[in-house]
Structures are given as C-alpha cells and as structure tokens.
Amino acid sequence: MSDVEEVLAVHYGWVVVWLTFFAVLVAAGIRSITGVIMVPLEQEFEWSRSAISFAFAINLTLYGFAGPFVAAGLERVGIRKMMVYAMSLLVLGLSVSLFMTEIWQLQLIWGIVIGLGCGVFLTVLSATVANQWFERRRGLVLGMLMAATAAGQMIFLPLLSYITDVYSWRVGMSLFIVLGILMIPIIAVWMKDKPIDKGLLPYGVEKHEWRKTEEGNQKNPITAAFEVLWIGVRSGPFWLLCISFFICGLSTAGLIGTHFIPASAHHGIPEVHAASLFAFMGIFNIIGTMFSGWLSDRYDNRWLLFWYYGLRGLSLLVLPYAFEMKSYVMLIGFAVFYGLDWIATVPPTIRLAADYFGKQQGAIVYGWVFAAHQVGSGVAAFLGGYFYEIFHSYTMTFVSAGVLCILATLFVLSFKKKEASVPEAIGA
C-alpha cells in the first residue's frame, strides 16, 4: 500500500478521481470565460457578436471532435501524460491571448489551441478514468467528475466577472494561467494511468472476476478511433445517441453557457448579477449531476434521459418570459431547475454507450457521440450571436432549443439497450 493510501486508507482510484476532478474544474473554468469576455471584447476591439461567437463555436466543435482521438490517445499515451500536455496547451493559449488584437487571433487561439486543450479534459477523460479505475461505483464517479464542470462555473464565474468589471478581462484570465501552472506538476507527480501501475485491481473487482485483454493501447489512436466509428455508424443506437446528444450540446454549453450572460445584459441585468445566477446554476448542476450518476447505477438510463430532456425543454420555453418580465424570482427558479438538469444527461449517456459497445470501445464511441454534442454546441454558439444581430433578441433561439429538447425525448426512448459485458482490463 502506498503512503497516500496508508494515510487516507482508501483505494488509490479515489486519489485519481480527485486529481481528475480538480484538473477538470480548472479546464471548465477556462471554458466558462467565454460568456464573461464576450461583451468586453465587443467594446474594446469593436468586433461583432457573431464574429466572437464564431470563435467560441470553433472551440466547442473542435474540442468535441477531439474526443474520440483523445479516448484512443488516453489508451496509448496514458492519462497522466495527456493531462500534462493538455494543461500546458491551455496555459500557452491563455498566455498568448492576453496580447491578441485581431479577430483571427481570437479564432486561432480560442478556437484551436484552447479548443484542443479543453478537448482532453472535457470530453472522455472522466469516462476513461471511471472505466479504468472502477467497476463498482462507476456511475457515482462519473457523476462526481461531470460535476467538476459545474463546480468550475460556480467557483470561478462570479469572481471572474467581478475582476473583469473592476480591472479587465486580462487580469481575470491571468488567474487561470496561475492555476494551470500549479496543476501541471501536481498531475505529473501523483496521477496514475491504470490500477496495475499501483499493483491494484479496479475498485470493486475481485481477482477471480478479472479478465485481461491484450488488445487496446497497442493500436494507433487515429486508427482505433476510426475503427470504432465504422462500427458505430452501422448501429442504430449510435445514431440515436448522436442525435439526442447533439440537441443536448445545442441547449447547454453552446446556448446557455455562451449566451446567458450576454442575454441578461441585453435585458438590463448587470453582468455580475448574471454571473451569480450562472454560478447558482452550477451549485444545482453539481447536485443534479452527482444524483444522476447515482440514478444511472440503479434505473433505466433511457427513461432518465427522457425526463432530463423533457424538463430541460420546458425550462427553456419559460426563460424568454422570465427575461421579459425581468423577474429575479423566475430567473432564480430557472437557475435551480435548469441547473439540476444541465450535465445530468452525461452519466446515463456514457452508461448506455458502455453497455451497448463494451467498456473499451464504449469510451471511444462516447467520444464520437460527444463530438455530435459539441457540433450542437458550436451551432448554438454561432447562431445565438447571428440571430441576435438579426432580431436583436434571444427569444427565438431559446424557444427553438426548448422544442428540440422535447423532440429528443423520442430519440432516447427508441434506444434498445444492450446488456453490459463482464469486467475486463482495458489494454492491460
């Protein structure tokens, strides 16, 4: 038993989970910067909202398409190295963005450099860690790691908004440069790739249950990603997951994550108040995501997704009315209701992918499904800004997203679940 385990008396998998949690938290905080800096960038550089939204759309789409390749890369290169490389890329991108002066620089830095860095932490890392280190409590672990995304916005957004308002967006961004620099050595020293690196089995697995596979990380990551894609495109459940998760991305990160604060400003709500509402969503996002992880271990994940998408759709239909009324009571209600539902869709989606395609291929399948999610995010991020310039309102955008969420309930109920296979070592 290691020194850490002797002190904490826990399986080292839980140490890995908390290291991953804090790394994802920082990456999620970096990703959430976009909603705060949109208006300041408009004012300082006189860039159009659609041009700024396009840069953030590239970011969302690119890190989504990085998912399947990241999943394969995590298998071949290893979790620890991939996390160190990605955090270094985020620090580099943030540092360079302090000196940008042209819109193409925003699109290059935030669209590509930071997009790729986010792609490691915010796509399939959580699923890979959960699958590698846990057999029991995997749904709970997924819920915890998905909640890190919400915790990032809850902790950082009000502070970032305040710093941006009092000082500048550059000072706020510098906070994340410091956090990223601090995380790099922590990950390098204490992160481990697999239980075997510590002489352990995954949490909840007994020796007589363990079956190793020799295939896995010996394959080229790009080859492995496309091989799994070929399997997926010939499968009906793959397309049902992709379509429903496209709508998920369209109605969350791309829409609310990018445009909630600018939409609030449009209706005369101070940015600091809007950021506080957004952070309030984050509190309930954590609760909802962790509870969803617990539920995904116990109930039919298709029906969980049915309720998540349906309730999210209803909340988005109410949001324009809350803005028009400038009712803080209704907006707080929206923050609670929508927050509980934001990332709650992720644990059931990951479980369905793993149940149908197996744990090894399931992580890469989820990477491709997440790519569809991020295409939806990119579409909403760009069209939200584009429609705002045309209609001078976000009403049509919010209503359209709400209707699509209700349609998504039909797709998830059409999914035929396949039973999970026996525990196996991935690329051991």
- Output the pLDDT for position 428: 32
Read off the pTM.
Answer: 0.75
**Domains delineated in the chain:** 3-413 (1.20.1250.20)
- Output the pLDDT for position 425: 39
* pLDDT tens-digit map of 53-74: 898 888 888 877 887 788 778 8
Query: Amino acid identity of 103?
Result: I
Neighbours of 167 (CB within 10 A): 11
pLDDT one digit per residue (tens) for the chain, 428 residues: 444 444 446 788 889 999 999 999 999 889 888 888 888 998 899 999 889 989 888 888 887 788 778 877 887 889 999 999 999 999 999 999 999 999 999 999 998 999 889 888 987 788 889 888 888 887 788 778 877 877 777 778 788 888 988 899 999 999 999 999 999 999 999 999 888 888 778 887 766 555 554 444 456 667 877 888 899 899 888 999 999 999 999 999 889 988 998 999 899 998 888 888 988 888 888 888 888 888 988 889 999 999 999 999 999 999 999 999 989 999 999 999 898 988 889 889 988 988 888 877 887 888 889 889 989 998 998 999 899 989 989 999 999 999 999 999 999 988 775 554 434 433 33
Alpha carbon 417 to chain centroid distance?
24
* CA dist 8 → 5, 14, 135, 193, 196 (Å): 5, 10, 21, 20, 19
**Beta carbons of 369 and 245 less than 8 angstroms apart:** yes
Matching residue, tokens 């397309």: 239
